Amino acid sequence: MAAERALITGASSGIGWELAKLFAADGSDLVLVARREERLKALADELKDEFGVDVFVLPKDLSDPQAPKEIYEHLKREGIDIDVLVNNAGFGARGPFANLDADMQVDMVQVNVAALTHLTRLFLPGIIERGRGGILNVGSLAGFQPGPNLAVYYATKAFVLSFTEALSEEMKNPNIKISCLAPGPVRTEFGEKSELDDSLLFKMSLMDVGPVVREGYEGFRHGKVIVLPGVKQKLIPVLLRFTPRFLVRKIVKSLQS
Protein backbone atom coordinates (compact mmCIF):
# COMPACT_ATOMS: atom_id res chain seq x y z
CA MET A 1 0.00 0.00 0.00
CA ALA A 2 1.29 3.50 -0.85
CA ALA A 3 2.32 5.79 2.01
CA GLU A 4 -0.37 8.02 3.44
CA ARG A 5 -0.50 11.50 1.86
CA ALA A 6 -1.68 14.52 3.86
CA LEU A 7 -2.64 17.89 2.37
CA ILE A 8 -2.05 20.74 4.81
CA THR A 9 -3.35 24.24 4.14
CA GLY A 10 -1.59 27.15 5.81
CA ALA A 11 1.67 25.20 6.03
CA SER A 12 3.90 28.25 5.55
CA SER A 13 3.96 29.13 9.26
CA GLY A 14 2.75 28.40 12.79
CA ILE A 15 0.41 25.48 13.43
CA GLY A 16 0.39 24.23 9.82
CA TRP A 17 4.20 24.26 9.62
CA GLU A 18 4.53 22.27 12.85
CA LEU A 19 1.77 19.82 11.89
CA ALA A 20 3.58 19.12 8.63
CA LYS A 21 6.65 18.07 10.64
CA LEU A 22 4.62 15.62 12.74
CA PHE A 23 2.97 14.03 9.71
CA ALA A 24 6.36 13.74 7.96
CA ALA A 25 8.01 12.27 11.08
CA ASP A 26 5.40 9.48 10.93
CA GLY A 27 6.24 8.84 7.26
CA SER A 28 3.35 10.67 5.56
CA ASP A 29 3.94 12.20 2.16
CA LEU A 30 2.63 15.74 1.96
CA VAL A 31 1.02 18.43 -0.14
CA LEU A 32 1.69 21.90 1.29
CA VAL A 33 -0.64 24.80 0.46
CA ALA A 34 -0.40 28.53 1.32
CA ARG A 35 0.42 31.76 -0.54
CA ARG A 36 4.12 32.14 0.42
CA GLU A 37 5.77 29.72 -1.99
CA GLU A 38 9.36 30.27 -0.77
CA ARG A 39 8.39 29.25 2.77
CA LEU A 40 6.62 26.14 1.51
CA LYS A 41 9.67 25.18 -0.56
CA ALA A 42 11.99 25.66 2.42
CA LEU A 43 9.77 23.43 4.57
CA ALA A 44 9.51 20.84 1.80
CA ASP A 45 13.33 20.66 1.52
CA GLU A 46 13.68 20.30 5.28
CA LEU A 47 11.10 17.48 5.46
CA LYS A 48 12.51 15.62 2.46
CA ASP A 49 16.04 15.75 3.96
CA GLU A 50 15.06 14.85 7.50
CA PHE A 51 12.34 12.25 6.95
CA GLY A 52 12.74 11.09 3.34
CA VAL A 53 9.10 11.79 2.52
CA ASP A 54 7.71 13.08 -0.77
CA VAL A 55 6.48 16.69 -0.56
CA PHE A 56 4.49 18.50 -3.23
CA VAL A 57 4.26 22.30 -2.94
CA LEU A 58 1.12 23.96 -4.24
CA PRO A 59 0.99 27.75 -3.70
CA LYS A 60 -2.60 29.05 -3.67
CA ASP A 61 -4.59 31.96 -2.31
CA LEU A 62 -7.59 30.39 -0.59
CA SER A 63 -9.49 33.68 -0.62
CA ASP A 64 -10.01 32.96 -4.32
CA PRO A 65 -13.23 30.91 -4.53
CA GLN A 66 -11.76 28.91 -7.44
CA ALA A 67 -8.71 27.78 -5.41
CA PRO A 68 -10.16 24.57 -3.84
CA LYS A 69 -11.25 23.22 -7.22
CA GLU A 70 -7.92 24.17 -8.79
CA ILE A 71 -6.06 22.33 -6.01
CA TYR A 72 -8.24 19.24 -6.41
CA GLU A 73 -7.90 19.18 -10.20
CA HIS A 74 -4.16 19.85 -10.13
CA LEU A 75 -3.60 16.88 -7.81
CA LYS A 76 -5.89 14.68 -9.90
CA ARG A 77 -3.82 15.49 -13.00
CA GLU A 78 -0.64 14.62 -11.08
CA GLY A 79 -2.19 11.33 -9.90
CA ILE A 80 -1.83 12.34 -6.23
CA ASP A 81 -4.43 10.88 -3.83
CA ILE A 82 -5.11 12.59 -0.52
CA ASP A 83 -5.73 10.48 2.59
CA VAL A 84 -5.70 13.23 5.21
CA LEU A 85 -6.94 16.76 4.65
CA VAL A 86 -5.79 19.32 7.23
CA ASN A 87 -7.81 22.51 6.87
CA ASN A 88 -5.60 24.82 8.89
CA ALA A 89 -5.24 28.06 6.86
CA GLY A 90 -7.04 30.93 8.52
CA PHE A 91 -6.76 34.45 9.82
CA GLY A 92 -8.51 36.92 12.11
CA ALA A 93 -8.76 40.68 12.49
CA ARG A 94 -9.48 42.68 15.62
CA GLY A 95 -11.81 45.66 15.68
CA PRO A 96 -15.51 46.53 15.58
CA PHE A 97 -17.19 44.82 12.61
CA ALA A 98 -18.45 48.09 11.09
CA ASN A 99 -14.95 49.61 11.09
CA LEU A 100 -12.99 46.70 9.62
CA ASP A 101 -12.50 46.48 5.87
CA ALA A 102 -15.47 44.80 4.17
CA ASP A 103 -13.52 42.86 1.53
CA MET A 104 -11.04 41.58 4.10
CA GLN A 105 -13.88 40.23 6.27
CA VAL A 106 -15.51 38.51 3.30
CA ASP A 107 -12.10 37.00 2.45
CA MET A 108 -11.95 35.74 6.04
CA VAL A 109 -15.22 33.86 5.57
CA GLN A 110 -13.90 32.54 2.26
CA VAL A 111 -10.62 31.24 3.74
CA ASN A 112 -11.82 30.11 7.20
CA VAL A 113 -15.19 28.67 6.12
CA ALA A 114 -15.88 28.36 2.38
CA ALA A 115 -12.48 26.99 1.29
CA LEU A 116 -12.49 24.56 4.25
CA THR A 117 -15.97 23.33 3.30
CA HIS A 118 -15.19 23.13 -0.41
CA LEU A 119 -11.91 21.24 0.08
CA THR A 120 -13.65 18.82 2.45
CA ARG A 121 -16.41 18.17 -0.08
CA LEU A 122 -13.86 17.58 -2.85
CA PHE A 123 -11.51 15.27 -0.94
CA LEU A 124 -13.80 13.39 1.49
CA PRO A 125 -15.38 11.03 -1.08
CA GLY A 126 -11.90 9.74 -2.08
CA ILE A 127 -10.96 9.32 1.58
CA ILE A 128 -14.16 7.34 2.20
CA GLU A 129 -13.52 5.23 -0.89
CA ARG A 130 -9.98 4.33 0.20
CA GLY A 131 -11.16 3.75 3.78
CA ARG A 132 -8.31 5.44 5.65
CA GLY A 133 -7.09 8.86 6.79
CA GLY A 134 -9.52 11.63 7.62
CA ILE A 135 -10.08 15.34 8.08
CA LEU A 136 -8.40 17.56 10.68
CA ASN A 137 -10.01 20.98 10.81
CA VAL A 138 -8.32 23.72 12.80
CA GLY A 139 -11.02 25.61 14.67
CA SER A 140 -10.47 27.55 17.88
CA LEU A 141 -11.70 28.01 21.42
CA ALA A 142 -13.23 31.12 19.83
CA GLY A 143 -15.78 28.78 18.24
CA PHE A 144 -17.50 28.17 21.58
CA GLN A 145 -18.77 31.75 22.11
CA PRO A 146 -19.50 35.02 20.32
CA GLY A 147 -16.52 37.38 20.03
CA PRO A 148 -17.22 41.11 20.10
CA ASN A 149 -14.33 42.94 18.35
CA LEU A 150 -13.50 39.78 16.39
CA ALA A 151 -17.10 39.02 15.40
CA VAL A 152 -16.45 37.42 12.02
CA TYR A 153 -13.45 35.40 13.20
CA TYR A 154 -15.34 33.87 16.14
CA ALA A 155 -18.34 33.12 13.91
CA THR A 156 -16.12 31.36 11.34
CA LYS A 157 -14.67 29.16 14.07
CA ALA A 158 -18.18 28.34 15.39
CA PHE A 159 -18.90 27.07 11.88
CA VAL A 160 -15.74 24.94 11.86
CA LEU A 161 -16.65 23.34 15.19
CA SER A 162 -20.27 22.64 14.29
CA PHE A 163 -19.42 21.38 10.79
CA THR A 164 -16.67 19.07 12.03
CA GLU A 165 -18.80 17.59 14.82
CA ALA A 166 -21.61 16.89 12.35
CA LEU A 167 -19.24 15.27 9.84
CA SER A 168 -17.74 13.05 12.53
CA GLU A 169 -21.20 11.76 13.38
CA GLU A 170 -21.99 11.05 9.72
CA MET A 171 -18.79 9.02 9.33
CA LYS A 172 -19.50 5.31 9.45
CA ASN A 173 -15.97 3.95 9.01
CA PRO A 174 -14.01 4.01 12.32
CA ASN A 175 -10.73 4.00 10.34
CA ILE A 176 -11.55 7.50 9.09
CA LYS A 177 -10.95 10.16 11.72
CA ILE A 178 -12.71 13.53 11.76
CA SER A 179 -11.36 16.06 14.28
CA CYS A 180 -11.54 19.70 15.17
CA LEU A 181 -8.41 21.06 16.85
CA ALA A 182 -9.68 23.98 18.94
CA PRO A 183 -6.75 25.78 20.61
CA GLY A 184 -6.84 28.89 22.71
CA PRO A 185 -4.22 31.57 21.94
CA VAL A 186 -1.01 30.15 20.44
CA ARG A 187 2.38 31.84 19.90
CA THR A 188 2.49 32.07 16.06
CA GLU A 189 2.31 34.91 13.51
CA PHE A 190 -1.46 34.96 14.10
CA GLY A 191 -1.35 37.25 17.17
CA GLU A 192 0.53 40.03 15.40
CA LYS A 193 -1.34 39.70 12.10
CA SER A 194 -4.75 39.89 13.77
CA GLU A 195 -3.58 42.67 16.14
CA LEU A 196 -4.40 40.52 19.16
CA ASP A 197 -0.97 40.54 20.78
CA ASP A 198 -1.91 43.12 23.41
CA SER A 199 -5.43 41.84 24.11
CA LEU A 200 -5.90 40.58 27.67
CA LEU A 201 -7.79 37.49 26.52
CA PHE A 202 -4.96 36.54 24.15
CA LYS A 203 -2.19 37.11 26.69
CA MET A 204 -4.01 35.29 29.51
CA SER A 205 -3.59 31.75 28.19
CA LEU A 206 -0.97 31.89 25.44
CA MET A 207 0.56 28.48 24.61
CA ASP A 208 3.63 27.50 22.61
CA VAL A 209 2.88 25.95 19.27
CA GLY A 210 4.72 22.66 19.99
CA PRO A 211 2.41 21.22 22.68
CA VAL A 212 -0.70 22.50 20.87
CA VAL A 213 0.20 20.72 17.68
CA ARG A 214 1.34 17.55 19.44
CA GLU A 215 -2.01 17.27 21.26
CA GLY A 216 -3.90 18.05 18.06
CA TYR A 217 -2.01 15.46 16.05
CA GLU A 218 -2.37 12.72 18.65
CA GLY A 219 -6.02 13.57 19.27
CA PHE A 220 -6.69 13.24 15.54
CA ARG A 221 -4.84 9.92 15.30
CA HIS A 222 -6.91 8.60 18.21
CA GLY A 223 -10.19 9.74 16.66
CA LYS A 224 -10.94 12.49 19.18
CA VAL A 225 -13.66 14.71 17.70
CA ILE A 226 -12.80 17.92 19.60
CA VAL A 227 -9.22 18.45 20.73
CA LEU A 228 -8.69 21.21 23.30
CA PRO A 229 -4.94 21.57 23.98
CA GLY A 230 -3.97 22.75 27.46
CA VAL A 231 -5.50 22.36 30.93
CA LYS A 232 -7.25 25.74 31.40
CA GLN A 233 -8.40 25.53 27.81
CA LYS A 234 -10.26 22.27 28.45
CA LEU A 235 -12.28 23.93 31.21
CA ILE A 236 -13.50 26.88 29.17
CA PRO A 237 -16.20 25.07 27.13
CA VAL A 238 -17.50 23.53 30.39
CA LEU A 239 -17.63 26.93 32.15
CA LEU A 240 -19.32 28.47 29.14
CA ARG A 241 -22.16 25.95 29.37
CA PHE A 242 -23.03 27.24 32.85
CA THR A 243 -22.62 30.96 32.16
CA PRO A 244 -25.52 33.03 30.75
CA ARG A 245 -24.77 34.07 27.16
CA PHE A 246 -25.35 37.79 27.85
CA LEU A 247 -22.58 37.60 30.43
CA VAL A 248 -20.22 35.66 28.14
CA ARG A 249 -20.60 38.33 25.45
CA LYS A 250 -19.78 41.09 27.93
CA ILE A 251 -16.76 39.29 29.40
CA VAL A 252 -15.27 38.52 25.97
CA LYS A 253 -15.83 42.12 24.87
CA SER A 254 -14.14 43.56 27.94
CA LEU A 255 -11.14 41.22 27.55
CA GLN A 256 -10.81 42.00 23.86
CA SER A 257 -11.39 45.76 23.71
Ligand X SMILES: NC(=O)c1ccc[n+]([C@@H]2O[C@H](COP(=O)([O-])OP(=O)(O)OC[C@H]3O[C@@H](n4cnc5c(N)ncnc54)[C@H](OP(=O)(O)O)[C@@H]3O)[C@@H](O)[C@H]2O)c1
Residues that are catalytic: 153
Q: Point out which residues pair with 217 in neighbouring strands.
A: none
Compute the least distance from the CB of residue 226 to ligand X, in Å: 13
# residues near ligand X by CB under 6 A: 28
- Contact between 196 and 140 (Cβ < 8 Å): no
Answer yes or no whether residue 164 interacts with ligand X by CB under 6 A: no
Residues 57-86 that bind ligand X (CB under 6 A): 61-63
Compute the least distance from the CB of residue 170 to ligand X, in Å: 23
The only residue of 28, 120, 188, 233 in contact with ligand X, by rule CB under 6 A: 188
Q: Nearer Cβ to ligand X, position 31 or 174?
A: 31
The only residue of 140, 168, 199, 233 in contact with ligand X, by rule CB under 6 A: 140
Sheet containing strand 55-59, strands side by side: 55-59, 29-34, 5-9, 84-87, 133-138, 176-181, 226-227
Spatial separation of the C-alpha atoms in residues 15 and 174, rounded to whole Å: 26
CA 92 distance to own-chain centroid: 12
Q: Nearer Cβ to ligand X, position 51 or 91?
A: 91
Q: Nearer Cβ to ligand X, position 36 or 76?
A: 36
Identify residue 66 by its one-letter amino acid code.
Answer: Q
Q: How far is CA 226 from CA 107, 135, 137, 178, 220, in A?
A: 26, 12, 10, 9, 9
By the criterion CB under 6 A, which residues form the site for ligand X? Answer: 10-16, 34-36, 61-63, 88-91, 111, 138, 140, 183, 185-186, 188-191, 193
